[in-house]
């Protein structure tokens, strides 16, 4: 039995959505791998200490280390863990989650080289990041998409009389949730009964600003807070369009899930999104932070039944390729 130490933010609180470690870890366990986890500590310093001590503690027991790797402050966790893994001669595999990692490669090339050129492999959940890493001289990158159990996602037929928008993400500045509020305001000119539901935790205080904007514009927006995956999937039955408003992105699982559920996606054209969604084929892509274009895209979906139906069908077909039964084979090759 392969034994793996999985390093990531294994937090369970009201400020974070389900993370990569919490999704992939249990799937690997179900395939017979023995997984140690670090860390669930809320305090960042204690979390780092727990990660480091876990490598030392399990160094004689584990075959490899998986490291969830992001582009922001959490990048330094990956950097430190990679150093210690090399010290103990343990193969490690960074899993590339941060949509802004290409900027990190350019700004900190030496530190990036230490992490990514000494790894067994780097796993990218998007072709976007794989290409970016290849262009920066990293040839040890394997593409393994974010995964889901497709049988848990029923593609339910919707009515398209009036827009009922669904937004699922953490409330964070980089995800630009205010754009969703502005889109609803503009949509109400054409569809007075248009609705918006926003699902997710407040990660950096942005939620307060979003709610203030909704109140200022006198918009009745439904805010659910953080929901379990099963809860928001059930909630999605009441909505008919999924909007993704982010300014930076990789290939978010929430968008993949929306595509699986039969929700046509209108997203900003940033990061890995054009690698996941071909414009007007699997969804609609618009310029970031552009209210007019996002509103026009939503209205077009309601006016053109043929286009809408084709997008829903194409999107579902595409994400069926991300089913765990197919993706687990790629992980077995890496591990």
pLDDT tens, residue order, the chain (335 aa): 899 999 998 877 666 667 889 899 999 999 999 999 999 998 999 999 999 999 999 999 999 999 999 988 889 999 999 999 999 999 999 999 988 899 999 999 999 999 999 999 999 999 999 999 999 999 999 999 999 999 999 998 999 999 999 999 999 999 999 999 999 999 999 999 999 999 999 989 999 999 999 999 999 999 999 999 999 999 999 999 999 999 988 889 999 999 999 999 999 999 999 999 999 999 999 999 999 999 999 999 999 999 999 999 999 999 999 999 999 999 999 99
Instruction: State how many domains the chain has.
Output: 2
Residue 326 is assigned to a structural domain of this protein: no
Tokens 């937004």 — which residue? 167
In this structure, are 125 and 167 located in the same domain? no
Question: What pLDDT is stored for residue 61 in this prediction?
Answer: 96
User: CA dist 69 to 80, 82, 182, Å?
Assistant: 11, 11, 32
| E runs forming strands in the chain | 3-7, 34-38, 64-69, 92-96, 122-124, 141-143, 164-168, 195-199, 222-225, 241-244, 265-268, 284-286
In this structure, are 166 and 249 located in the same domain? yes
Question: What pLDDT is stored for residue 18 in this prediction?
Answer: 76
Q: Considering 125, 144, 163, which residue would you say is the last residue of a domain? A: 144
Residue 328 is assigned to a structural domain of this protein: no
In this structure, are 18 and 94 located in the same domain? yes
In this structure, are 27 and 88 located in the same domain? yes
Helix (H, G, I), strand (E, B) or coil at 145: coil
Q: Considering 107, 126, 144, which residue would you say is the last residue of a domain? A: 144
DSSP state of 120: S
In this structure, are 191 and 232 located in the same domain? yes
Residue 331 is assigned to a structural domain of this protein: no
In this structure, are 119 and 86 located in the same domain? yes
Please, how many CA atoms are within 13 Å of residue 57, restricted to the half-sphere of its CB?
A: 11
Residue 309 is assigned to a structural domain of this protein: yes
Q: Order of strands across the sheet with 34-38?
A: 34-38, 3-7, 64-69, 92-96, 122-124, 141-143
In this structure, are 53 and 121 located in the same domain? yes
Residue 37 is assigned to a structural domain of this protein: yes
Residue 327 is assigned to a structural domain of this protein: no
Q: Considering 144, 171, 191, which residue would you say is the last residue of a domain? A: 144
| Dihedral pair phi/psi, residue 110, rounded to 5° | -65, -45
Q: How far is C-alpha 70 from the geometric centre of its chain's CA atoms? A: 11
Question: What pLDDT is stored for residue 53 in this prediction?
Answer: 97
Residue 335 is assigned to a structural domain of this protein: no
In this structure, are 73 and 107 located in the same domain? yes
In this structure, are 155 and 43 located in the same domain? no
In this structure, are 124 and 191 located in the same domain? no
Peptide bond into 39 cis (omega under 30): yes
In this structure, are 137 and 156 located in the same domain? no
Residue 139 is assigned to a structural domain of this protein: yes
Find out whether 197 and 177 touch, Cβ atoms under 8 Å: no
Find out whether 169 and 254 touch, Cβ atoms under 8 Å: yes
Q: Which pair of structure tokens corresponds to residue 13?
A: 């609180």
* Closest-CA residue to 260 (of 308, 200, 309, 322): 322
In this structure, are 59 and 114 located in the same domain? yes
Domain that holds residue 119: 3-144
Task: CATH number of the domain at 207, please.
Answer: 3.40.50.2000
Question: What pLDDT is stored for residue 74 in this prediction?
Answer: 87
């Amino acid at each position: 039995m392969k034994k793996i130490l999985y390093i990531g933010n294994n937090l369970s609180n009201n400020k974070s959505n389900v993370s990569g470690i919490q999704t992939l870890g249990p799937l690997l366990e179900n395939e017979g791998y023995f997984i140690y986890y670090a860390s669930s500590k809320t305090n960042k310093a204690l979390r780092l200490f727990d990660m480091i001590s876990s490598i030392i503690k399990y160094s004689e027991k584990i075959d490899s280390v998986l490291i969830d790797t992001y582009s922001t402050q959490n990048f330094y966790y990956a950097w430190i863990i990679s150093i210690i893994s090399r010290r103990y001669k343990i193969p490690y595999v960074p899993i590339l989650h941060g949509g802004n990692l290409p900027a990190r490669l350019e700004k900190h090339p030496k530190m990036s080289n230490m992490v990514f050129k000494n790894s067994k492999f780097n796993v990218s959940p998007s072709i976007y990041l794989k290409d970016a890493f290849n262009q920066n001289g990293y040839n040890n990158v394997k593409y393994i998409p974010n995964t889901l159990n497709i049988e848990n996602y029923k593609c339910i037929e919707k009515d398209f009389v009036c827009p009922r928008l669904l937004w699922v993400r953490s409330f964070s500045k980089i995800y630009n949730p205010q754009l969703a509020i502005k889109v609803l305001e503009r949509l109400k000119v054409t569809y007075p009964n248009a609705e918006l539901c926003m699902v997710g935790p407040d990660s950096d205080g942005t939620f307060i600003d979003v709610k203030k904007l909704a109140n200022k514009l006198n918009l009745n927006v439904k805010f659910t807070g953080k929901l379990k995956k099963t809860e928001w999937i059930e909630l999605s039955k009441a909505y008919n369009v999924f909007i993704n408003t982010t300014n930076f992105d990789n290939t978010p699982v929430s968008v993949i899930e929306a595509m699986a559920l039969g929700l046509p996606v209108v997203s900003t054209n940033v990061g890995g999104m054009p690698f996941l969604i071909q414009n007007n084929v699997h969804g609609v892509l618009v310029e970031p932070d552009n209210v007019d274009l996002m509103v026009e895209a939503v209205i077009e979906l309601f006016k053109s039944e043929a286009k809408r139906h084709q997008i829903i069908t194409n999107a579902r077909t595409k994400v069926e390729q991300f089913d765990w039964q197919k993706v687990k084979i790629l992980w077995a090759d890496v591990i």
